[in-house]
Structure 1
Amino acid sequence: MKNKSKFIGIAIWSMVHVTMLVLALCARPWNIDTSLYSILPTANSLKEVGDAEKKMGEQTMNQLNILVGHEDFQTACDAADWFDSTLKGDPRLESIRYMVSDGALEGTAEYTYHHRFSLLGDTYIQALASTAGAQFARDEALQRIYGAFSLSDLSHLEEDPYLLGAHAFERFTMHSPLLSNKLSLKEGRLVASDSTKTYIFWSAKIRPGEKGIAGEGHVLEQVNAAIDTLRERYPGISVAKSGVPFHSYESSKNAQKEITWISTISIILALALLIAIFRTFIPIASTLFSILMAVVSALAITWSAFGEIHMFTLVFGTSIIGISIDYAIHFFTDWKFANENHDGSEVRKRIFKGLILGFTTTELGYIALSVAPFPLLRQMALFSATGLASALCTTLFLFQAFPKAKAAHAGQATRFATSLSHMYDWYYRLRWPLKIALPALLCALAIPGLIRLNIQTDLHNLYTVSDSLKESEFLANKVIDFGMSGSYYIVKGASAEDVLQKEEVFVRKMEQGKKDSVFRNYLAMSYFVPSQKRQQEDFATIKQALQGDAADFLKSQQLGSDSLFQKSLDNFSAITPEDSFPSDWQSALQTLWLGKIDSAYYSAVFPLHVKDAAALPRLVDGCDGVYFVNKVPEISKSLTDISHILIILVAITNLLMFIIFIPVYNLKTAFKIIRIPVCAGIAVASIFGLAGIDFNFFAIAGVILTLGVGIDYSLFFREGSNHVGTTALAIALSAATTVLSFGTLSFSEFQPVHVFGLSIFIGTLTCFLLSPLTQERN
Structure 2
Amino acid sequence: MRKRFYGWLALMLLCLASLLPYLGRPLPVQTNMLAMLPDDARQPEVERALAQLAAKAGERLVVMVGHRDPAQASRLAEQAAARLRALPALRSVQGKIGDLDPARLLRPYAPYRHGLLTDADREGLRQNPQAYLETLLLRRLSLPGQGAFGLPLAEDPFGLFGNVLAALPMAKSSLQIKDGWLATERDGVSWRLLSAPLNGDAYDPALQQVLSREVAELRTLAEAGGGQLAATGAVLFAGEARGGAEAEMNRIGSVSMAAVIGLMLLVFRRLRHLALSGAVIAAGTLTAVAATLAVYGQLHLLTLVMGASLIGVAIDYSTHLFASQLQDGPDWDVERALAAIHPAIRMGLLTTLLGYGALALLPFPGLRQIAFFSSAGLVGAYLTVLWCVPCFVRQAAPASARGILPPIGRAFGRYCQFMRGRRLAALLLALGALSLPGLARLQADDDVHQLIRPSAELLAQEHLIRELAGQGNSRQFFLLEAPSEAALLRLGRQLDGRLDALVSAGQLQGYQSLSSLLPPPERQQADHALLQDAMRHAGRQVLQDAGVRDEIAGGYLAGLARPGPSLTAETLLAQPLAAPLRHLWLGRHDGVWRMAVMPGDFRKLDALRQAAQGLDGVTLVDKAASVSELFRQFREASTLMFALSLLAIVALMQRRYGWRRALLLAAPVSLAVLFTLGALGWLGVSANLFVVLGFLMVLGVGVDYAIFVEEGRRHHQQAALLAVGLSALTTLLSFGLLAASATPAVSSFGLTQLIGVGLAVLLAPMVTLFKTGDAGRAESC
The TM-score normalised by the length of structure 2 is 0.86
Which of 726, 744, 747 is the equivalent residue of 1:754? 747
> Partner amino acid for 2:265?
I
Q: Determine if contact 1:716/1:727 at 8 Å carries over to the other structure.
A: yes
| 1:253 lines up with 2:251 in the alignment | no
Q: Determine if contact 2:89/2:207 at 8 Å carries over to the other structure.
A: no
> 1: CA distance between counterparts of 2:709 and 2:118?
78
* 3-state SS of 2:171 partner: coil
User: Unaligned 5+ residue runs, structure 2?
Assistant: 776-781
> 2: CA distance between counterparts of 1:600 and 1:383?
40
> 2: CA distance between counterparts of 1:160 and 1:480?
31
Tell me how far 1:22 sits from its aligned partner: 6.2
Which of 759, 766, 773 is the equivalent residue of 1:773? 766
Aligned to 1:395: 385
> 2: CA distance between counterparts of 1:597 and 1:370?
32
Q: Determine if contact 1:676/1:714 at 8 Å carries over to the other structure.
A: yes
> 2: CA distance between counterparts of 1:743 and 1:104?
63
Which of 248, 264, 273 is the equivalent residue of 2:254? 264
| Greater CA drift, 638-647 or 552-561 | 552-561
Which of 72, 75, 89 is the equivalent residue of 2:72? 75
Aligned to 1:675: 667
Question: Relative to 1, partners in 2 of residues 1:531 and 1:373: Cα closer, same or farther, differing over 3 Å?
Answer: farther
Question: Relative to 1, partners in 2 of residues 1:284 and 1:114: Cα closer, same or farther, differing over 3 Å?
Answer: farther
Aligned to 2:691: 699
Aligned to 2:369: 379
| 1:237 lines up with 2:231 in the alignment | no
Which of 318, 336, 341 is the equivalent residue of 1:346? 336
> 2: CA distance between counterparts of 1:304 and 1:251?
24
> 1: CA distance between counterparts of 2:254 and 2:589?
44
Q: Determine if contact 2:306/2:738 at 8 Å carries over to the other structure.
A: no
> Partner amino acid for 1:361?
T
Question: Relative to 1, partners in 2 of residues 1:319 and 1:469: Cα closer, same or farther, differing over 3 Å?
Answer: closer
Which of 165, 178, 197 is the equivalent residue of 1:169? 165
Aligned to 1:415: 403
- Deviation digits for residues 657-705 of structure 1 (CA, Å, limit 9, x no counterpart): 1233234322321122112222232233222111112233333333222
> 1: CA distance between counterparts of 2:610 and 2:696?
40
Tell me how far 1:513 sits from its aligned partner: 3.7
Q: Determine if contact 2:283/2:380 at 8 Å carries over to the other structure.
A: yes
> Partner amino acid for 1:681?
V
* 3-state SS of 1:610 partner: coil
* 3-state SS of 2:399 partner: coil
Count of aligned pairs: 763
Aligned to 2:178: 186
> 1: CA distance between counterparts of 2:489 and 2:27?
39
Tell me how far 1:714 sits from its aligned partner: 1.6
What root-mean-square deviation, in Å, do the aligned CA atoms of Structure 1 and Structure 2 show?
3.7
Aligned to 1:745: 738
| 1:52 lines up with 2:49 in the alignment | yes
* 3-state SS of 2:638 partner: helix
> 2: CA distance between counterparts of 1:240 and 1:377?
35
Aligned to 1:143: 139
Tell me how far 1:734 sits from its aligned partner: 1.4
| Greater CA drift, 629-638 or 562-571 | 562-571
> 1: CA distance between counterparts of 2:691 and 2:77?
46
Aligned to 1:330: 320
> 2: CA distance between counterparts of 1:95 and 1:393?
52
* 3-state SS of 1:115 partner: helix
- Deviation digits for residues 138-177 of structure 1 (CA, Å, limit 9, x no counterpart): 653553244255344787555555555434433347734x
| 1:9 lines up with 2:13 in the alignment | no
Aligned to 1:576: 569
Which of 498, 503, 524 is the equivalent residue of 2:513? 524
> 1: CA distance between counterparts of 2:455 and 2:471?
22
Question: Relative to 1, partners in 2 of residues 1:256 and 1:214: Cα closer, same or farther, differing over 3 Å?
Answer: farther
Superposed counterparts of 1:308-319, under 5 Å:
308-319=298-309
| Greater CA drift, 663-672 or 494-503 | 494-503
Superposed counterparts of 1:425-440, under 5 Å:
425-429=413-417, 430-440=419-429
Tell me how far 1:119 sits from its aligned partner: 4.6
Tell me how far 1:336 sits from its aligned partner: 5.0
> 1: CA distance between counterparts of 2:353 and 2:572?
54
* 3-state SS of 2:87 partner: coil
* 3-state SS of 1:572 partner: coil
Question: Relative to 1, partners in 2 of residues 1:600 and 1:663: Cα closer, same or farther, differing over 3 Å?
Answer: farther
| Greater CA drift, 650-659 or 388-397 | 388-397
| 1:116 lines up with 2:113 in the alignment | yes
> 2: CA distance between counterparts of 1:545 and 1:491?
35
Q: Determine if contact 1:119/1:528 at 8 Å carries over to the other structure.
A: no
* 3-state SS of 1:385 partner: helix
Q: Determine if contact 2:477/2:596 at 8 Å carries over to the other structure.
A: yes
Aligned to 2:360: 370
Instruction: State the identity as a percent.
Output: 26
- Deviation digits for residues 371-406 of structure 1 (CA, Å, limit 9, x no counterpart): 223222222222223333333333334455x37632
| 1:622 lines up with 2:622 in the alignment | no
Which of 644, 659, 663 is the equivalent residue of 2:651? 659
Aligned to 1:558: 549
Q: Determine if contact 2:318/2:385 at 8 Å carries over to the other structure.
A: yes
